[in-house]
A and B are shown apart, each in its own frame.
Chain A
Amino acid sequence: MADVELTSIIGKAMSKSTVVVERGAVTNFATAVVDSNPVYGDPRAAKAAGLPAIPAPPTFAFVMNSWGQYPELQPDDAPTGNPMGEVLGPLMAKGGLILHGEQEFVYHRPVFVGDVLAGEGTIVDAYTKESKGATMTFVVTETVWRDDKTGEPVVTSRFNVIHRG
Chain B
Amino acid sequence: MEAFAFSVESLGASAAYMMPLLVLLLTGLVLMLLDAFGIRRSLAWVAAVGLVISAVWAWSQSDPTSRIVFFGMMETGGIAPIVHVFITMSGIFSLFFVHDYLKRQERMVSDVYALLVFSVLGMILMANANDLIITFIGLETMSMCLYIFASLFKTEVASNEAGLKYFLLGSFASAFLLFGISIVYGMTGYTNLSMLAEPESLARLTDNLPLFYVAAGLLLIGFLFKVAAFPFHNWTPDVYEGTPTPLAGFMATGSKLAAFVALGVVMKRLDFIAYDKVVTILALSALFTMIYGNIVAARQTNLKRMLAYSSIAHSGYVLLGLCAADIGFKSIIFYMFIYTLMNIGAFGMVGMVESKHTDTDMESWRGLGLKAPYFAGGLAIFLFSLAGIPPLAGFMSKYQVFISAIREDLIFLATVGILTSVIGAYYYIRVIVLMFFNSQGKEPSFNLSFARLPMAGIVILVALILLFGIFPSLILAPIEAAFGGGVSLTALP
A binds B: no
Measured CB to CB, the residues of A under 8 A from B are none
